[in-house]
Structure 1
Amino acid sequence: MTEGQTFKDGLLAAIPNLRAFAMSLCGAADKADDLVQETLVRAWDKQASFQPGTNLRAWLFTILRNEFYSQMRKRGREVSDADGALTAAMAAHPEQAGKLDMQDFQTALAQLPEDQREAIILVGASGLSYEEAAEICGCAVGTVKSRVSRARTRLGELLGISDSSEFGPDDVATHVMNRPLVGNAA
């Protein structure tokens, strides 16, 4: 930058050389233009750190080169997902409703008589067979089956569930999770 030339004038004068250097690094005009623009923005933001009387072009080329390598490192960590398949696989149902449902279930479970609660936990939650649960409870297999059946019926009443289709995500969440991504609609 010569004496009498402003910082802005020095930036503008360096653009053709910056663009040529960026083209040699990127190989594509659009990426080179983006790189030059980012370089100019960074230089403008950091102009207070530029020491007048030193080589502005060299300073700008250093910024451009560092920005190019930063972008390359960043791209190395990024995963290409042009068709959105990876993004779609990462989608998850919202957890809020599930947590509230679990709280409701725990409250309803606590309201069951102790023998029914014990039977349904052994068979339903612990995965034991009716025979194993009967042995643990010290009663007949038929008694355990009856307790589990009554516990299921009572839980359904307490939770307001009349059909197995009422379990899992609601219709809105299911619709959102199953809709095609924008641009991927069939």
Structure 2
Amino acid sequence: MSEVADLLPQHVPALRRYARALTGDAASADDLVQDCVERALTRAHLWRQPGNLRAWLFTIMHNLNANEKRRAASRPRLATIDEVPEPSRPSSQVERLMASETLAALKLLSLEHRQVLLLVALEGLQYAEVAEVLGVPVGTVMSRLSRARDRLMQLSGSERAAQPRSVT
């Protein structure tokens, strides 16, 4: 490892140039170089001597960049705040009132019910993912979610509005 550590600094400027060409961004290029150097130092025992260290480093960098591009392609693209459109119309007073009632009712749910409801409804996780996050079986997630939804409807007054009123 000491030989790689000794020879590595002379290759950093070339690595930075290549990283800049790959990424087109100075900050991303610096991150890529740092990842490459870290990978080279932790895997120095894999370098075949008297192999071409520069070629080995460029291979590491190329593979790191390709892996990152694959990961980025599989992730949804995040929109900047400037790209998010303004609502077409402001919410009405009734909608705001319903939203505040729902938020107040959400705070009254038990922690277990609130966790499941937020992970499924707000974060969009699948039941299996929620089960993994919380360390419970999928059936427990489904049960808690059903109870949480029922309780939330009771607390927010939605159930009262949905039930026919009796005439007295």
CA separation of 1:23 and 1:101: change in aligned 2, threshold 3 A? closer
Residue 63 of structure 1 deviates from its aligned partner by: 0.6
Residue 169 of structure 1 deviates from its aligned partner by: 3.5
Cross-structure match for 1:99: 143
1:102-147 residue CA offsets vs partner (Å, 9 max, x unmatched): 89xxxxxxxxxxxxxxxxxxxxxxxxxxxxxxxxxxxxxxxxxxxx
Once the two structures are superposed, the pairs formed by residues 153-172 of structure 1 within 5 Å of their partners are 167-169=150-152
Distance of 1:55 and 1:62 partners within structure 2: 11
Percent of pairs with identical residues = 28
- Find the partner of 1:70 among 38, 44, 67: 67
Question: Over the residues paired in the alignment, what is the CA RMSD in angstroms?
Answer: 3.9
1:47-73 residue CA offsets vs partner (Å, 9 max, x unmatched): 111012111011000110111111111
State which structure, 1 or 2, has the greater radius of gyration over its C-alpha atoms: 1
2:1 is the alignment partner of 1:18:
no
Segments of structure 2 that go 5 or more residues without pairing to the other structure are 85-120, 131-138, 157-168
Cross-structure match for 1:42: 39
2:42 is the alignment partner of 1:8:
no
- Find the partner of 1:90 among 124, 140, 144: 124
CA separation of 1:170 and 1:92: change in aligned 2, threshold 3 A? farther
1:138-182 residue CA offsets vs partner (Å, 9 max, x unmatched): xxxxxxxxxxxxxxxxxxxxxxxxxxxx942499xx9xxxxxxxx
Residue 23 of structure 1 deviates from its aligned partner by: 0.5
Question: Number of paired residues?
Answer: 106
Distance of 2:79 and 2:66 partners within structure 1: 23
Distance of 1:101 and 1:31 partners within structure 2: 41
Q: TM-score, normalised by structure 2?
A: 0.50
Greater RCO (Cα-Cα under 8 Å, separation 6 or more): 1
Is the partner of 1:6 in helix, strand or coil? helix
Segments of structure 1 that go 5 or more residues without pairing to the other structure are 104-165, 175-186
Distance of 2:24 and 2:43 partners within structure 1: 27
Is the partner of 2:20 in helix, strand or coil? helix
Q: TM-score, normalised by structure 1?
A: 0.46
